[in-house]
Amino acid sequence: MTSLQVWTYVIVGFTFLIYIGVAVWSRAGSTKEFYVAGGGVHPVLNGMATAADWMSAASFLSMAGLISFMGFDGSQYLLGWTGGYVLLALLLAPYLRKFGKFTVPDFIGDRYYSQTARVVAVICALFVSFTYVVGQMKGVGVAFSRFLDVSFGQGVIIGVCIVFFYAVLGGMKGITYTQVVQFCVLIFAFTVPAIFISLQMVNHPIPQIGMGGELADGTSLLDKINQVSIDLGFNQYTSGNKPRIDLFCVTAALMLGTAGLPHVIVRFFTVPKVKDARISAGWALLFIAILYTTAPAVAVFARTNLIETVDNQPYDQVPPWFKSWETTGLLGFEDKNGDGLIQYYNDQNATFVNEVATPRGWKGNELKIDRDIIVMANPEIANLPDWVIALVVAGGLAAALSTAAGLLLVISTSISHDLLKKWLRPNISEKNELRSARIAIAAAVIIAGYAGYRPPDYVAAIVAFAFGLAASSFFPAIILGIFDKRMNMQGAVTGMIVGLVSTAAYIIYFKFGGGVGHPERYLWDISPEGIGTIGMLLNLTVALVVSRLTPPPPVSVQDLVENIRIPKGSGTATAH
């Protein structure tokens, strides 16, 4: 066994022991502990747990990679996945906490006094959480395939087994305290390599500042990456290439989606007071921002390093990490012109191909890089010590596991609490409720594992769909439920259906249907990732119009709205 493998087993094994220890120590003893951790979690700890729940395999493994290949256009993920917390803190969290039930469908069902509304909300919640958990499964597969030296498919299967046991073990209470630990692991694992690389490249210990620093030869890092990108036929790194309207819509869809994701919202039911719900969102965003401001720096460092390592280098002299990543299938070299050198460039750029590549005897880009490996391979590319590389593996697993656990809890709660207990079988016993939750988890993990094994796009892109759907269904329904007292059942339900169906149809058409490979058919240049913004606007408009044409909600519901607007008199989250 190599020194790297020993380190990986030691560090990953050690972190797993801690997670299991914490999960066992804080096991849920009642349904209330199972659903909302007893409603007594300290805001700072809740902030950490929320951050771990939030920062998924996509944030940890894929995001820096995506940004590294997209440059400025990658900003949509950075802005989109942080800005939503402002909406959450200001527009949703305090009021939902005051409302004081367990789930988002609870709120929708009570506020819109309708079983239909509740069922629509449950279906949305299941759809959104399920789409999201698929992304986590791919992330788990990437991490395990590297860790255990197995193929990606086997990695997914091992991940499925671990997530399964993990999710069955803990209720919300166990998951919350485990996530606090997982946050510490993942943030340490993400920032330590970034600090090392920043010191190495620009001699500055803070990556956020080092990103704008100067290389040893005195050239600015960002100038250098712009130059290198253009030299290989790519776009200039620091300025965008995407239509601005698309960038705008994708960012908005991610923000609105963040604020509408059931597994994020449920976090604010776990704190004791309305005041705590507000500040929890602040702590969560602060902790999230540590990773989200480091990621763009990692992206710049990694891309510069990667290009320097491979550009026009002889294949038989590549460093060992290159070969080890080739075995996972995430990195591939094909010597198209038979010169034994690696030519990495943008062969989709016709001008560059005609003017530069062809005269040099290049016959196409010879290096296939899966963006997801950027973060995982980065420490190796930068020649960092083995324990740092092992730490990154542990961090990636922490990120994927913590998010998967949170999502699976939402899925099982949706089925056992919202669907069975509150709709199909109100008389179900607690024992049967728990059993149905476990069966739901099992089915979800297996299907998600399979979907993750054959993903339609990159992890972050899959996850982006979940956001589009959350943005177009939940966000407007909840906002209107709080800020528009006149909003009634007819308006909210029609709005949710219109938003969800239009968004889903657009995404399915361009990702699986006749629109695949035809971006010229996009509505106003808006890609499927950004269509949730339009779905949200449709939902909002339809809901407002329909509600004004139909009778106002009952007085008891209007009183409920008055009540949730004022913090005074909040109890802890209650059952019914």
Partner 1 sequence: MDSNKRYWQINLKYLAILLAIWFIVSYGCGIIFADQLNEYEVGGFPLGFWFAQQGAIYVFVVLIFVYVYLMNRLDKRFGVEED
The C-alpha torsion from 496 through 502 and 503 to 508, rounded to 10°, is 140
Dist. CA 491–CA 356, nearest whole Å: 59
Identify residues 28-67 at the interface with partner 1 (CB under 8 A): 67
Q: Which is nearer to partner 1, 435 or 486 (CB)?
A: 486
Dist. CA 212–CA 226, nearest whole Å: 12
Work out whether 24 is an interface residue with partner 1 (CB under 8 A).
no
Scanning 133-141, 246-254, 354-362, 382-390 for contacts with partner 1 by CB under 8 A, the matching segment is 246-254
Work out whether 248 is an interface residue with partner 1 (CB under 8 A).
yes
Give least dist CB 25 to partner 1, A: 30
Work out whether 486 is an interface residue with partner 1 (CB under 8 A).
no
Scanning 121-129, 338-346, 471-479, 562-570 for contacts with partner 1 by CB under 8 A, the matching segment is 562-570
Give least dist CB 560 to partner 1, A: 14
HSE value, Cβ hemisphere, 13 Å, CA-based, for 460: 24
Work out whether 455 is an interface residue with partner 1 (CB under 8 A).
no
Q: Which is nearer to partner 1, 213 or 515 (CB)?
A: 213
Give least dist CB 213 to partner 1, A: 6
The CB density around residue 14, as the number of other CB atoms within 10 Å, is 11
Dist. CA 538–CA 437, nearest whole Å: 34
Residues 69, 205 contacting (CB under 8 angstroms): no
Q: Which is nearer to partner 1, 75 or 346 (CB)?
A: 75
Work out whether 289 is an interface residue with partner 1 (CB under 8 A).
yes
Q: Which helix (H) or strand (E) holds 59?
A: none
Residues 106, 395 contacting (CB under 8 angstroms): no
Scanning 71-79, 131-139, 390-398, 513-521 for contacts with partner 1 by CB under 8 A, the matching segment is 71-79
Identify residues 256-285 at the interface with partner 1 (CB under 8 A): 273-275, 278-279, 281-282, 285
Give least dist CB 241 to partner 1, A: 12
Residues 441, 471 contacting (CB under 8 angstroms): no
Identify residues 225-244 at the interface with partner 1 (CB under 8 A): 238-240, 244
> What is the token pair recorded at 312?
């026009």
| Sequence letter at residue 392 | V
Block residue for tokens 């008891």: 556
Block residue for tokens 């030691």: 10
Residues 256, 464 contacting (CB under 8 angstroms): no
Work out whether 570 is an interface residue with partner 1 (CB under 8 A).
yes
Alpha helices in 88-114 (DSSP H): 93-99, 104-111
Q: Which helix (H) or strand (E) holds 176?
A: helix 172-202
Residues 197, 384 contacting (CB under 8 angstroms): yes
Nearest to 137 by CA among 455, 427, 433, 438: 455
Burial group, residue 497, by CB count within 10 angstroms (0-12, 13-18, 19+)? middle
Helix 3-25 × helix 386-413 angle, to 10° = 30
Give least dist CB 295 to partner 1, A: 9
Among 44, 79, 199, 230, indicate the residue that binds partner 1 (CB under 8 A): 79
Scanning 15-23, 88-96, 138-146, 526-534 for contacts with partner 1 by CB under 8 A, the matching segment is 88-96
Among 151, 200, 208, 313, indicate the residue that binds partner 1 (CB under 8 A): 208
Q: How many residues bind partner 1 (CB under 8 A)?
A: 51
Q: Which is nearer to partner 1, 282 or 515 (CB)?
A: 282
Work out whether 216 is an interface residue with partner 1 (CB under 8 A).
no
Q: Which is nearer to partner 1, 119 or 274 (CB)?
A: 274
Residues that bind partner 1 (CB under 8 A): 67, 72, 74-75, 78-79, 82-83, 85-86, 89-91, 94, 208-209, 211-214, 220-222, 238-240, 244, 247-248, 251-252, 273-275, 278-279, 281-282, 285-286, 289, 292-293, 296, 562, 565-570
